[in-house]
Structure 1
Amino acid sequence: MNPHPDRTAPAGTPLYRRAPLPARHVEPVLDVAVPVFNEQTDLEPNVRRLHAHLRDTFPYPFRITVADNASTDRTPHIAARLADGLAEVDWIRLPEKGRGRALRAVWSGSRAPVLAYTDVDLSTGLAALLPLVAPLISGHSDLAIGTRLAPGSRVVRGPKREVVSRCYNMLLRHTLAVGFSDAQCGFKAVRRDVAQRLLPLVRDGGWFFDTELLVLAERAGLRIHEVPVDWVDDLDSRVDILATALADLRGIARLRREPGRRRRTRAGAV
């Protein structure tokens, strides 16, 4: 398969495309992971809403995989009931917390050619789901991300989270020279063949997983498609902003001091 050039390649460099997926599929084309921890209230209504949306709008077979991160409430029982009642829903149980661990487990075990995830609160409008995965199905792009920071996005959230998000993405641009606009939006997709090569290189198992995956992909010259999204802040979010920010800073520092790993990635590790 032809390698992908960096998005900053000089003018005239040919852009290679991956082959589009066949028009007819029996097995799921898309596997949407939903990482959860103690989400007994939101899990069932939101998974059913996601399932109905995919059933009504997605033109290929699909799967939804609930990844339970060691919940201590009724979340695993609800996930099992959903899997029993909906043919397109599956679930797994992980012994440790961590969104990155959940995504690694689901994506590593899936046979679907396109892998995605969304936060269980469905803060991101589902109308963006088909635009998110379409470039991966067609072979145009390798990864796709929802962005709340692009023209056309409509975002409703408090000033504190708005400032934290913008400062974080600005920090990434200045310290790691990234080109993507929004590392933390819980709405992403990747082709399985790309995930198979990137996942062994990603070390973080928590919230920094997304950022590290994208940084490695961009360093390898992979094509990252961005989709403006409608996004409404979950007022019941239990994310510890301070702890997450400190972990992100440690992750950024680690990526900055790994020049040997950066060169290997550029040389074609993926």
Structure 2
Amino acid sequence: MKEVDRMRAEKARIDAELALADAKRTEELAPLNAEASKLIAERALRLAKANAEAAALEDERAKLERQAGLEAARSAARLTERNNKIRELEAEAKQLQLESANTVARLSNEIARYQKEDEARKVASKAKPKYLKDPLVDGTLYISDRRIAFNGAVTEPLADYVCQRINFYNNQSAEFPIFIVVDNSPGGSVAAGYQIQKAMAASKSPVYVVVKGFAASMTAVIATLAERSFCYPNTIILHHQVSNTMRGNMTVLKEQIEFTTAGSSGSARRSPRRWA
């Protein structure tokens, strides 16, 4: 029994010693725990500060990147604008060069034309036009300035022009002949040709036709029905069977029939003795 009590007392003593050791250890660890807590708190604070600084730096970096991107975009826009301006200026310079070249060419042509006209006027001022009642002298045909250019298809505008010139030369003088000079004409309107033929027939001055190149159809009829007609050795005169698409009132139809009949018979009857 005594041994049990002794063991219980020993156990109590040991428990007390352990409790005392735990208390001492707790007391000794308290400063260390406080220091550890302090270090943990300081570490957390420094980490929070670092995170805040990192966030601020990230914001600054993003801001700088945005500013850099914006500045790059502005620089690219300014560069594009400058390049476009340069291209516009180059295009304007080319256009001005082209216009200048055209202007120089036009002025050069005008100067050359004026010089030629001046030379022609000087020559013309010394030469007097030669008017002959019979223009064919020893095989040479003298065509005065009383001439009318007759080219292209026979149309109403051409007929009006020829008739006006015939009247103009008649008002100048009814003594000397008028020359209708044909370079190339394929023929054309019968009505317009009839208008020219009537003006030729009504002219007080004789109206002669000179065919230099080619005359066909209505133009060949006009040349054949003229009072006198002349042609070059290599001139082509083309006649064909007369045809007409008649329209208008009875008077016009009658005149067209008479003219068509006259052209058909007169050209065949007169051509052998009228050409020179």
TM-score, scaled to structure 1: 0.23
* Higher Rg of the two aligned structures: 2
TM-score, scaled to structure 2: 0.23
The structure in which a higher percent of residues are strand is 1
The structure in which a higher percent of residues are helix is 2
